[in-house]
Every structure is written in structure tokens, then in C-alpha cells.
Structure 1
Amino acid sequence: MAANETPQDEPARPPESGRPGREFRMAELAAEAGVTVRTLRFYRERKLIPPPRREGRIAWYNDHHLARLRTIGALLERGHTLGGIGELLAAFDAGRDVGELLGLQTPLLPPWSEETPVRLTPEQLADHFSQDVTAENLTASLDLGYLAVDGDEFVHISRRLLDASTELVHRGIPLAAVLEAGRTVRAHADALADVFTTLIRTHLLADILERPGTADLPGPQEVDHIARTIEKLRPLSKGVVEAELSMAMDRRVRTELETWLREQGDRDCPGERDRRADEEGPADAP
């Protein structure tokens, strides 16, 4: 037992004012998480769990520590090493720090996208991507904004993107390659969004948005007009992008197929000509 912890156990106690969740002594936390006190100390020494709150000589742990221990156990069951788990948890905590720093902002206009966020525990994320859940991929996902950290969970910004990424990984494409492709798609999508916003700003809202000076800021009616204009153009822009992408995929697939067939023909034609020559026999002399 650590020298700075009292030997007697005390029951978990309800939170004090301003301190959310239950609090546990070390032995009780270990029992709740299904690990030994020795294992708990080892995790703490490896910095896999954050330090407890000190109250004199007593160390108090909370629900966050319990969730972290359960995450470690779940990842170990899925084949992750303690070293890899440590890197994942460091990236997780870094993502949470950034999220808390940035905070949430109330948008002026309703969101353009219609995506449904998905809440995931770290072990659920591992179920989606198995051994591809690494510190590098987690950091890339946080950097791209696909994932955010909320408490002891992740929030993925889009059910559709999560499902697509999961399917691609299950089909054999490494998650790192999927994320790199996502970064490229994001850049092109931003460029497309710039095209449409420039059209709207230049031709539909110039009289409001490009007034000189800041004294005549848009009033409530003008803000409502901006919102309604953008909302009406939402399906048009999405339809244009979907149609152009569909036609571009058709062109690209057709080009790739024609190139492959031509290359196959270049390899096969000499043999095919020889086979036909043998079947036809020597040409008659004149």
C-alpha cells in the first residue's frame, strides 16, 4: 500500500457540490472496475489513468477513472498493447483539451449539412476499426474534425462518413489511406463550397453583404432573408455536386477500364496472332 494512503476502505461517496459523479477509494475503484489494486497502481505509474484527487492522505478517484479503466480493459481484450493504449489515451486527452479550449459556438444560420453525429466509447471505436485504431490515426481523425472528444467518449460528426469509413476498412483499405483520401475530399469540397458561396455573395446578396463600412450591419429581416436564400439554394447546390460527381465517376471508371483493356490487349495480341497463325497453317504460295 502506498505510504500516503490510509489502509482502511471507505465507501464510495456522492459528489460534493460542484464535483460531478461518484468518488471511490483505490480498493473500491479496483473492485468496481474488475482489476486488482496492484494493477490499478501499475496503470497509475504508467500514467494510463490521471492522478486522483487528494484530500489529506486520502486519494479519491471518480467515474472518469472508472471509465478509463474499463476502456483499458476493453482495448486489451481487443489485442491492443499497453504501449499502444497509452499512445491512444494521450491522443484522446489531447483531443479533449482542444475541444474544451475551443468550446461550442451558436451558429448564426442553421447548419447546411444534414449529418447525424454518433457517440462512441473508445472500445466501440475499436470495434469499428480494430487494429487500425492507432494514436496516429486518432490524431488525424481529430485534426480532420471527424472525431471530437466529449468527456470519456468520442463524437463522430457523421453517421454516413463513419459507416463509409468502416466499410472501406473492412474491405481491406487501411484506415490511414481512408483518412488521407478524406483529407483530399475535404479540400475539394471546400473549393466547391467556395464556388457556391461566391455565386451567392456576388449575385444574390451583394447589396446586403458588401455595403461599405460597418455602421449598416444587416438587421433581423435581412439576416432572415440571407438564411432563407441560402436554405433555398441548398438542394440546388447538392444536386449539382452529386450530378457532376456521378458523371465524373462514370468518365473515370470508363477511362480506367479502357486503359486496362488496352494494356491487356497489348499483352495478349502477340500470342493470339501466333495461335491463329498456327491454326490457319502456312499461306499458299502464289
Structure 2
Amino acid sequence: MEELAKEAGIPVRTLRFYRERGLIAPPRREGRIAWYDDHHLARLRTIAALLERGHTLTGIADLARTFESGRDVAEVLGLGEPTEETPVRLTPEQLADHFEGEVTPENLATALELGYLATDGDEIVHISRRLLEVSAELVREGVPLSTVLSAGRRVREHADALADLFVQVLQAHTTETEPPRLRPLARAVVDAELSMALDRRLRRDDGAQPPKGPET
């Protein structure tokens, strides 16, 4: 314990307090000897970093329990990594930096449930760099992370329905399991339709009338 406290740069009494609060896991014991390892040191450094970012010990304990009850990377990835998405590995403090003030047990639980986040030892894995970056940008624009996650759940429902539609349409006319043009064609259609839908929605908000066609 003294060696671990020295490596972490904290007093032994602080380490004992963290142990009592369940902030770090018990050591491995061999007889009367308690062995701590790099995982314990990583957890202590994470605690220190989160404290510096304004989190309370109670909040950190809640976050730790949420992570520990979440799914691991193998469970989230299932049969393999997404073919077009790049997972991102993060430390808990890096995640806190992406979503300053918004990393709460409730938001983490939702992200873990949706499969956006998974755990891999002392690291967190976000399933998609693109989703991570756009989510962080929305939060920086003032949208609460809870709202971003709620919207993400709804978007996924529509995305699943669109994926079913495109697969059914193309597979009905080809013998290939995944037609080579499936993804670019689907993206092009969805992008164009979404752009036009946004135009219609924004014109409605502005009270503007859509352009009239030629009179007959």
C-alpha cells in the first residue's frame, strides 16, 4: 500500500479512504502480503484527474460502478468491428474532457446501453469516432448530452428502418448478400432526402412558402 501511494503521489491515509469507499478494487493477497498492480495505479490517476475536473468522490464512485456494470468491447462489437466506423480508445478523464460537466452516471448508463461506449480493462472504447466528434460538438453548441443521447436513440430507430428498406430493395434484384453499391447508394439517397427535409422544416419555422411551380 505504501509503494502504491508513493507511485500515485498521495498519502497512505488517502489510499485507505479510497479503499473504504470502494473507489479501488481490493489487492491480490498472498498470505499476509497485499499486492497492488498497474490497474490500481491507473484507477488512482483517473480519480486524481477527475477530481481536478470538478467531480466529487461520490460522483466518481457512481461513475466507476456504472462503468463496471457496462458491457465490454467484445460484447458490443459482437461479430466484429463496424466496417466503416473507427472505434476510439479513451481514458475516463479524456471522456470527461470531451463532454465537460456532462459525464454523469445517468448519461454513461445510456451510452453504455446504446452501445456507444464499452469497457476494455482501464480504457473506454467509443464505437465510432464520427459519432463521438459530432456528439461533443453538439454539447459544445449547448445541447445537453442527455438530449443528444435521446435523439441518438430515435435516430437509430429510423436508421434501422432505412437499412432494412435498402437491403430489401437491392437484395430483391441481386443474389449478393451485400451488393457492392449498397452503402454509397443508401448514403446518397438519405443525405439528399434529409437535406430537403431540413429545407422544408426550416421554411415552415420561418413561415416561408415553398416555391410555386408554373401555373397551368
- Partner Cα distance (2:73, 2:159) in 1: 27
Residue 145 of structure 1 aligns with which residue? 115
One-letter amino acid matched to 1:254: R
Residue 118 of structure 1 aligns with which residue? 88
TM-score, L = length of structure 1: 0.69
Deviation at 1:160, TM superposition (A): 1.5
CA contact under 8 A between 2:166 and 2:182: conserved in structure 1? no
- Partner Cα distance (2:41, 2:60) in 1: 16
Residue 205 of structure 2 aligns with which residue? 256
Deviation at 1:104, TM superposition (A): 5.4
Whether 1:157 and 2:127 are equivalent positions in the alignment is yes
CA contact under 8 A between 2:73 and 2:118: conserved in structure 1? no
Whether 1:172 and 2:121 are equivalent positions in the alignment is no
- Partner Cα distance (2:32, 2:44) in 1: 23
1:232 pairs, out of 181, 190, 211, with 181
Q: Which of structure 1's runs of 4+ aligned residues deviate more than 6 A?
A: none
Deviation at 1:166, TM superposition (A): 0.9
Deviation at 1:204, TM superposition (A): 2.3
Residue 48 of structure 1 aligns with which residue? 23
Q: Which runs of 5+ in 1 are unaligned?
A: 1-25, 206-224, 260-286
Give the alignment of 1:1-286 within 5 angstroms: 26-95=1-70, 98-99=71-72, 102=75, 105-107=78-80, 111-112=82-83, 114-205=84-175, 225-227=176-178, 229=179, 231-258=180-207
Deviation at 1:168, TM superposition (A): 1.1
Q: Equivalent residue of 1:164, what SS? A: helix
- Partner Cα distance (1:133, 1:104) in 2: 23
Task: Tell me how many residue pairs correspond in the alignment.
Answer: 208
| Root mean square deviation of aligned Cα | 1.8
Q: Which runs of 5+ in 2 are unaligned?
A: 209-216
Residue 265 of structure 1 aligns with which residue? none
- Partner Cα distance (1:30, 1:99) in 2: 29
Deviation at 1:101, TM superposition (A): 7.4
- Partner Cα distance (1:239, 1:126) in 2: 34
Q: Considering Cα pairs closer than 8 Å and 6+ residues apart, tell me whether 1 or 2 has the greater RCO.
A: 2
Larger Rg: 1
Deviation at 1:193, TM superposition (A): 0.6
Deviation at 1:202, TM superposition (A): 3.0
Deviation at 1:256, TM superposition (A): 1.0
1:189-232 Cα offsets, whole Å, 9 max, x none, are 11111111222333323xxxxxxxxxxxxxxxxxxx434x2x22
CA gap of 1:52–1:193, structure 2 versus 1, over 3 A, is same
One-letter amino acid matched to 1:197: V
One-letter amino acid matched to 2:144: P
Identity of aligned residues (%): 64
Deviation at 1:103, TM superposition (A): 7.3
- Partner Cα distance (2:73, 2:206) in 1: 49
